Amino acid sequence: MLMSIMEKGTDIAKAAEILRNGGLVAFPTETVYGLGANGLDPLAVARIYEVKQRPSFDPLILHIGKPEDMTGLFRNPDDPLILALSGAFWPGPLTIVAEKQAVVPGIVTSGMSTVAVRMPQNELAIQLIRTAGIPVAAPSANLFGKLSPTMPQHVQKQLKGVDYLLDGGKTSIGVESTIVSVSGNGITLLRPGAVTPEQLREAVPGAIITPYRAPETEDSGLAAPGLMKSHYSPEKPLYIFSKLPRQIKPGSGVIFFTEKGDAKSKAEETIVLSPSGNLLEAAANLFTALHDMENNPFVQRIFIEQIEERGIGVAIMDRMRKAAYRHSTGQQAD
């Protein structure tokens, strides 16, 4: 595996200084690692696109260190829905999209009039953002369309040109934040994540909640890569199964949700996401397992077991379908 040379450590003061000076810092959040830049500096944000090799400018999430910091970013920070959602879920894995103020550069929002904002829960992330004293624009710290990073090594494997990598070990949630857009008395779920529709309903009982709709086509006209049908893909063919085929070819890697003893002997490598069947644990291990399979030179194709779509299971299956989209499901191929 080719690792790029990238300074790595836990020096928050140094990382914050780099951000203030227009540099790039990869840092852990509780969801996945982010590739951060000063969110109010268009040139710094432009470097994010360069390093990620994103083919187009797509909107980024602005990360803040205190809930009050949203007042400088949203046009109506006193909106009751925004207050209720941020009060209930920040710090945490919920991103709120709403009308922006003029200070937010167009490169952050892809020219849209709305901005996405989140206060993460990870202690290193909070300290970094507070020390830098600026909103930090950060998409996931991976190459465009590839697996999201849940460990510092995943960032080193994919990216070149990052000025500092803040090392916080493995991320705890492991799938990207839930994204909602807020307008009038309505909330629209744009991306499933650890915060579930049930939790949202409980936090804002009066609001009209439009459920998440998986994209119908490869390019369904939605502006953002995380919302496309194919995304988060490993370098090897990936197939989702409900029942593992009796005969699997040599060179197959198998990722199970819970323990499945007898298949172990047939596969090149097997990984169990959660022996006890805990969906939160499975989410935390999902991208790590896919990275491990991608790194194993003896694994040529990956099979992954489908899981129950309840709670964070909806987000896990959403990421799995996007990762497997380029390959037909349930079949073995070369």
**Residue numbers at the binding site for ligand AMP (CB under 6 A):** 58-61, 97, 109, 112, 114-116, 139-140, 176, 179, 181, 190-191, 224-227
- Write down the least CB distance from residue 95 to ligand AMP, Å: 6
CB of 247 to Mg ion, least distance (A): 36
Residue 55 or 275 having the CB closest to ligand AMP? 55
ω into 91 cis (within 30 of 0): yes
Burial 290-320 (b: 16+ CB within 10 A, else e): bbbbbebeebbbbbbbbbeeebbbbbbbbbb
- Site residues (CB under 5 A) for Mg ion, limited to 114-143: 140
CB of 122 to Mg ion, least distance (A): 17
- Closest to ligand AMP by CB, 301 vs 322, is 322
Q: Name every residue whose Cβ is closer than 8 Å to that of residue 186 and which is 6 or more positions away in sequence.
A: 207, 208, 209, 210
Pairing of strands 269-272, 252-256: parallel
User: Minimum distance from CB of 181 to ligand AMP (Å)?
Assistant: 6
Residue 51 or residue 272: which is nearer to ligand AMP going by CB? 51
136: helix, coil or strand? strand
CB 215 within 8 A of CB 222: yes
Partner in contact with 224, chosen from Mg ion, ligand AMP, none, beta carbon below 5 to 8 Å by kind: ligand AMP
Q: How far apart are alpha carbons 155 and 3 in whole angstroms?
A: 9
Asked if residues 299 and 238 have their Cβ atoms less than 8 Å apart, the reply is no
How many residues bind to Mg ion according to rule CB under 5 A? 1
Percent helix, percent strand, percent coil in the chain, to nearest 5: 30, 20, 50
Nearer to Mg ion, 182 or 224 (CB): 224
Please, which of residues 140-159 interact with Mg ion by CB under 5 A? 140
Pairing of strands 208-210, 269-272: unpaired
Residue holding tokens 């009066």?
206
Q: How far apart are CA 287 and CA 293, in angstroms?
A: 10
Q: Which does 112 bind (CB under 5 to 8 A by kind): Mg ion, ligand AMP, none?
A: ligand AMP
Closest CA to 145 of 221, 217, 224, 220: 224
Residue 193 interface partner, choices ligand AMP, Mg ion, none, CB cut-off 5-8 Å depending on type: none
Q: Residue 6 or residue 143: which is nearer to ligand AMP going by CB?
A: 143
Nearer to Mg ion, 233 or 274 (CB): 233
Q: Quote the least distance from Cβ 287 to ligand AMP, whole Å.
A: 12
Q: Which residue's CB is nearer to Mg ion, number 140 or number 285?
A: 140
CB of 75 to ligand AMP, least distance (A): 12
CB of 260 to Mg ion, least distance (A): 30
Interface positions with Mg ion (CB under 5 A): 140
